[in-house]
Structure 1
Amino acid sequence: MATLRGVVTKHINETPVLDIHTHIYSAAFGDLLLRGPEALITYHYLQAETNRVLEDMTPAEWMALTTPQQARLVWQKLFVERSPISEAARGVVTAWKRLGVPSVRDYDGVLKHFAGLSASQMIDLVFKTANVSGVVMTNDPFNPAEQAVWFGGQQRDQRFRAALRIDAIILDWAATWQKVQQMGYNVSRDLPESTYPEITRFLKDWAARMHPVYMAASLPPSFMMPDDSPSGRILAQAVLPACRDLGIPFAMMIGVKKRIMPELGDAGDGEGLANLDSVSHLCRAYPHNKFLLTVLARENHHEAIVLARKFRNLHVFGCWWFNNNPSIVEEITRERVEMLGLSMTPQHSDARILDQLVYKWAHSRKVIAEVLCEKYGYLIEEGWYPGEDEIARDVAMLFGGEFERFVRM
């Protein structure tokens, strides 16, 4: 068993991973790429955690502080006055240690350590340290800063793949249709039949620009299909035809309740239980479409796995947001392996800060290794001895290979 653990750990640590859902960007996107100690320590997980222990300011006052002010206060409250044992706080320590910081207890020293690094240098350092071969970004066609890059013709960093994010089109057409119209598409707010092909044309034109791996939307727990609302009609009559014609999946990230504590901004979002009958309907009614799925409510994961067993055109992935804690990652990964074998993607980072790639993958690799050791151990007990080449193959499947197969399918 000691030899098995060593082989599994070796391949888990040495196999580069394709991170299939992030919010980080290549250097060409400028300030959209968040990086460095202050960005890491003021990530919204830590903003929410710090807000819990502030006694002398309101949440709105806390969020109104500058980033350097917030960073100092997070450091004081979560790293000086308390041990950093939450997953997000521990992650900061992991990232700094693995990125070569001499003393993770010296905040000023940490700032000096990273000062002067260019975006390209930081990307190279983080990707090498995290052993990440590539990432899938989250790309908004309505963001002027992103538009400048896509229309600018810069040479692309091949490590960064695009995902066409279309929340605004699906969830808020009333506030989005004029933006689409201003880009040269004959669309109307009231969605006459002539509007759907124009939305499809818009999506295909942006796909030709971005070459996305998939289209994606973050959806509320109330998401339902079939549905005669604008959201349901746009999805059925414009988005899914575009995805089908392009041969790319539609990624559903279901379960976020936006701004349940609005004063905290992104730190104020919550989660809710979704009705996954919608997913079953989509997979059954649109067999020539491919769907990616991750869910925010822990209680939804078992049903999501069962659905993936039934529908070949559904691929479950990652432990998203509030699920990205080792105890939950272990539970979900074990359950997926037990019901799906290797035909899933156990994790994605969802990183919004470049530096997070380091700790999110370091922590997840350790959990995934434990699950694989257990499962291979059961096989050995019954006389099935996996070879090292087989273990290497399996890990490569979990770290992007199975996702690539699904996308090409």
Structure 2
Amino acid sequence: MSQQQKIEDLALLRSTVERLASSLPVTDMHTHLYAPEFGELLLWGIDELLTYHYLISESFRWSEEDYSHFWSMSKREQADWIWKKLFIDHSPVSEAATGFITILQSLGLDVTSRNLDDYRRELEKRTANEQVDDVMKLAGVDKIVMTNDPFDPIERPVWLSGGGKTDPRFYAALRVDALLNDWPNAVKELQNLGYEVQAEWTERTKAETRRFLSEWIVRMDALYLAVSMPGDFRYPAEDHRSKMIDEVMVPVCQERNIPFALMIGVRRRVNPSLKLAGDMSMLSDVSAVEALCRRYPDQKFLITMLARENQHELTVLARKFRNLMIFGCWWFLHIESMVEEMTKFRVELLGTSMIPQHSDCRVFEQLIYKWGHSRRIIGNVLADKYEKLHLSGWRLTEEEIKRDIDDLFNRNFWRFLGKA
């Protein structure tokens, strides 16, 4: 059957959707991954996967030990401890634990052996470059957007030496959290980099902060500015954040013609003893996004929120502002039940004019399960919608289905950036 021929058989319709959803290449538009040239910042391998913060916090559900004991262990010892708690002493049924099993199976490792040292030995035979190539192929991801912080002392030298863009599969996004959420520390960092700023919000400080952003956008060829915001973010407000957004960030985004991405709804370190694993979600105010979109109709905003309770309102808001692109099922929402729920009502409200998923990966092999699980769910949601159309007499072609999935997985992002 040609791709232009209308599909008459329901079973063939569903199998076509499932095949395309599982195989079409993806642009992963927000991750915490790095290209191999960034060295130690690229996290991969068995011990990095097992000591991922999702599994750290989950493993303490089964332990009465002091947190300090865990943090005193080597990474390998931590991985062994988590493996025993979550995979040997109990069945790995959580999303993060099941994801680890999916990774092992996809990499061709013997899941039935339950031999962690064998898994380590197999991956230790590979180079970082080989693993990146293999994982991207297995996950069907052909473009990855990193999260890049000029204040990071390990990352910054890569960019200053003219690197960071060697691998054309990797793209930069300029992270600006400190400028919005930790201004005193940002002032010190900017001063150390030679920018004439001070804690007081002077015209010189504003100009120098704009210069910093512009120079690093150009240096990185950054696709967008990105920030993670707490749930108590309000806009507009008589505070530093609103001033920074209005007088620095939006003007620079407009000058460089790039979107501003806000990920809203995190509450940091509710349990400090868990360190990075101690963060939490919280309810956010969608009206802040509404105000931004209304005040700046020519500025594009990429938005995701962390609380389940915000998702429907945010999706409805996206119907009202074409400069708003909602994306992904972020962090604690990246579990199968939430991905299914959110994808369903997003499609019902927005059709295919959104970005249904991003991986948010920190460890490279996580691309395999995060996209594998999401592809299946997104495909099933679309198949149900197409089946409903079919029963109403509307016939689809394979080319039309391919177009829709490519929009969701790729083109909506690049089109929003003006690069499609």
Decide which of 62, 68, 72 is 1:60's aligned counterpart.
Answer: 68
Provide the rounded CA distance (Å) in 1 between the counterparts of 2:58 and 2:188. Answer: 39
**What are the Cα deviations for residues 355-396 of structure 1, in whole angstroms up to 9, with x where unaligned?**
100010000011001100110011001110111000011110
Provide the rounded CA distance (Å) in 1 between the counterparts of 2:397 and 2:239. Answer: 53
Q: Secondary structure at the match of 1:243?
A: helix
Q: Secondary structure at the match of 2:62?
A: coil
Question: Deviation of residue 223 (structure 1)?
Answer: 0.4
1:23 paired residue number: 32
2:23 paired residue number: 14
**Aligned partners of 1:60 and 1:264 also within 8 Å:** no
Question: Deviation of residue 239 (structure 1)?
Answer: 0.6
Matched pairs, number: 408
Question: Deviation of residue 103 (structure 1)?
Answer: 3.3
2:395 paired residue number: 385
Question: Deviation of residue 229 (structure 1)?
Answer: 1.1
Partner amino acid for 2:23? E
Question: Deviation of residue 148 (structure 1)?
Answer: 0.9
2:248 paired residue number: 238
Decide which of 137, 140, 148 is 1:131's aligned counterpart.
Answer: 140
**Aligned partners of 2:14 and 2:387 also within 8 Å:** no
1:338 paired residue number: 348
Matched, 1:309 2:326: no
2:124 paired residue number: 115
Question: Deviation of residue 174 (structure 1)?
Answer: 1.2
Partner amino acid for 1:109? D
**What are the Cα deviations for residues 161-215 of structure 1, in whole angstroms up to 9, with x where unaligned?**
0000000011111111122122222211111122212111110000010011110
**Aligned partners of 2:293 and 2:323 also within 8 Å:** yes
**Aligned partners of 2:293 and 2:321 also within 8 Å:** yes
**What are the Cα deviations for residues 253-293 of structure 1, in whole angstroms up to 9, with x where unaligned?**
00000000001011100010001111000000011111000
Partner amino acid for 1:49? E
Provide the rounded CA distance (Å) in 1 between the counterparts of 2:322 and 2:209. Answer: 28
Partner amino acid for 2:80? R
**Aligned partners of 1:220 and 1:257 also within 8 Å:** yes
Question: Deviation of residue 102 (structure 1)?
Answer: 2.9
**Aligned partners of 1:214 and 1:248 also within 8 Å:** yes
Provide the rounded CA distance (Å) in 2 between the counterparts of 1:247 and 1:300. Answer: 28
Matched, 1:82 2:90: yes
Provide the rounded CA distance (Å) in 1 between the counterparts of 2:245 and 2:173. Answer: 17
**Aligned partners of 1:103 and 1:109 also within 8 Å:** no
Q: Which moved more, 1:312-321 or 1:99-108?
A: 99-108
Q: Secondary structure at the match of 1:287?
A: coil
**What are the Cα deviations for residues 107-137 of structure 1, in whole angstroms up to 9, with x where unaligned?**
1211111013111111001001101001100
Give the number of the structure with larger relative contact order, counting CA–CA contacts within 8 Å between residues 6 or more apart: 2
1:149 paired residue number: 158
Question: Deviation of residue 19 (structure 1)?
Answer: 0.3
Provide the rounded CA distance (Å) in 2 between the counterparts of 1:210 and 1:406. Answer: 19
Provide the rounded CA distance (Å) in 2 between the counterparts of 1:172 and 1:209. Answer: 23
Q: Secondary structure at the match of 2:325?
A: strand
Q: Which residues in structure 2 correspond to 1:25-44 (within 5 Å)? A: 25-44=34-53
Question: Deviation of residue 73 (structure 1)?
Answer: 0.9
**Aligned partners of 1:276 and 1:303 also within 8 Å:** yes
Deviating 4+ runs (over 4 angstroms) = none
Partner amino acid for 2:40? D
Partner amino acid for 2:11? A
Q: Which moved more, 1:67-76 or 1:175-184?
A: 175-184
Provide the rounded CA distance (Å) in 2 between the counterparts of 1:138 and 1:309. Answer: 28
Provide the rounded CA distance (Å) in 1 between the counterparts of 2:234 and 2:159. Answer: 33
Provide the rounded CA distance (Å) in 2 between the counterparts of 1:240 and 1:148. Answer: 27
Matched, 1:50 2:59: yes
Note the aligned Cα RMSD (angstroms).
1.1
Partner amino acid for 2:16? V
1:71 paired residue number: 79
Q: Which residues in structure 2 correspond to 1:175-190 (within 5 Å)? A: 175-190=185-200
**Aligned partners of 2:32 and 2:146 also within 8 Å:** yes
Aligned residues with identical type, % of pairs: 45
Q: Secondary structure at the match of 2:100?
A: helix
